[in-house]
Structure 1
Amino acid sequence: MAEAASVLDGARYTGFVTVADAGLRGMITLRGDLASDAVAGAVKDAVGLGVPGQRRVHAHGDRAVAWMSPDELLVMVPYADASEVAGKLAQALAGAFATVANVSDARAVFTLSGAAADDALCKLCPVDFAQLGAGEIRRTRAAQVAVALWRSGEGEVTLVCFRSVAEYVFGLLRNAAAPGGELR
């Protein structure tokens, strides 16, 4: 059996910001009643984090839970833990109106780091980055494809897209971050 690999195998580009393939990341989609005790308890037990409010991300170490819609969370864990965590969530929610799917191999993750990360992203995404606070997530588009992005640290934005468009998205990000393209 082949080893799991990031679609872009650690690709990295340094322009006025650095764009990097963040590597393999465990990602689980959980759909259900986010206000229910069952969902809150399952998430807390499986990853040690609470259910975030609207457009928020709760993160601690290598684990995070992101609000994706009124009935959807994206649970992020180390890649090697994704199957086990998905199983725990599914078992805990077996009697509830909820679905759990391990989508780790269907997604790609990028980080943009540098003080001008917003400058690169605002060329591609219809987001008011001046209003995007720490731990706040947006589902939007980067040029022609769906993405989710959030401030994951000081001077850092994390972006998730479908694996099938990862090379396209990396090219977009690389071009947007090219030296000479600074906006300020």
Structure 2
Amino acid sequence: MSNVVSALQGASFDDGIAKVEEMGLLGMITLRGDFADKKLIKAVKKIAGGMPDQRVIVEKNGQSAAWMSPDELLLIVPHAEAAGVAEGLNASLQGTHFLAVNVSDARAVFDVSGPHARSVMAKLAPVDFAEGAFEAGVIRRSRLAQIPAAFWMTQDGAFRVVCFRSVAKYAFDVLCVAAQKGSEVSAS
């Protein structure tokens, strides 16, 4: 059995206007289906406490459901539990139109934190990161420089960024460049 490791094995940058760190292994399940289906709603509520509205991420007991598109959610659970959660979804949603796939090892996750985290994110994504426009619980699926990514603000004011594992080094590097000292900008 191979030893599972994160994309950048905990890489961190803390010599600028914000801290950038790879978050390590997280369990992630792509769930596609009809958001009006009662079985799907029940399954998501069991995992994350509720169904997220458009561009919202909901969380319960360290597990989340993030709206990704009109028929897609990203479920976030502890890495060690992801395979079991995906299997449970596949069993409980039988008879409905759905897809539940464990994508944990295909993704990389970063946190951008500190008083200038909004500034760092604003330099890389075409999103309004101003206070009041982007707050905790809001999620966007967009671009981070030249790569697709999803990002949201956590309750403590940090930004969580998810991208494909194949571009993890690029994502980390552009986040670090944007976080270099002397690079503060307005988030609006």
Shorter chain as denominator, the TM-score bin is over 0.9
TM-score by length of 1: 0.96
AA in 1 matched with 2:166: S
Aligned length: 183
Give 1:62 deviation, angstroms. 2.1
Asked whether the equivalents of residues 63 and 77 of structure 1 are also in contact (C-alpha less than 8 Å), the reply is yes
Instruction: Could you tell me which runs of 5 or more consecutive residues in structure 2 were left unpaired when the two chains were aligned.
Output: none
Give 1:48 deviation, angstroms. 4.5
The corresponding residue for 1:61 is 61
Asked whether the equivalents of residues 116 and 155 of structure 1 are also in contact (C-alpha less than 8 Å), the reply is no
AA in 1 matched with 2:128: D
Paired residues for 1:88-107 under 5 Å: 88-107=88-107
Paired residues for 1:79-94 under 5 Å: 79-94=79-94
AA in 1 matched with 2:83: S
Aligned-residue identity in percent: 48
2:155 and 2:115 map into 1 onto residues whose CA distance is 11
AA in 2 matched with 1:63: Q
Give 1:35 deviation, angstroms. 1.9
The corresponding residue for 1:37 is 38
Give 1:176 deviation, angstroms. 0.3
* CA gap 1:156/1:48 in 2 versus in 1, 3 angstroms: closer
The corresponding residue for 1:154 is 156
Deviations 1:85-108 (A, max 9, x none): 001111111110001000000000
Give 1:154 deviation, angstroms. 2.6
AA in 1 matched with 2:42: G
The corresponding residue for 1:21 is 22
Give 1:43 deviation, angstroms. 1.6
The corresponding residue for 2:146 is 144
1:164 and 1:62 map into 2 onto residues whose CA distance is 26
Deviations 1:101-158 (A, max 9, x none): 0000000000011121010111110000111121000001011100000011232010
The corresponding residue for 1:75 is 75
Paired residues for 1:109-148 under 5 Å: 109-130=109-130, 131-148=133-150
TM-score by length of 2: 0.94
2:145 and 2:172 map into 1 onto residues whose CA distance is 12
Give 1:39 deviation, angstroms. 0.6
Deviations 1:57-88 (A, max 9, x none): 00133211100000000000000000000011
Moved over 3 A (4+): none
1:48 and 1:121 map into 2 onto residues whose CA distance is 26
Superposition RMSD on alpha carbons, in Å? 1.0
The corresponding residue for 2:176 is 174
Instruction: Could you tell me which runs of 5 or more consecutive residues in structure 1 were left unpaired when the two chains were aligned.
Output: none
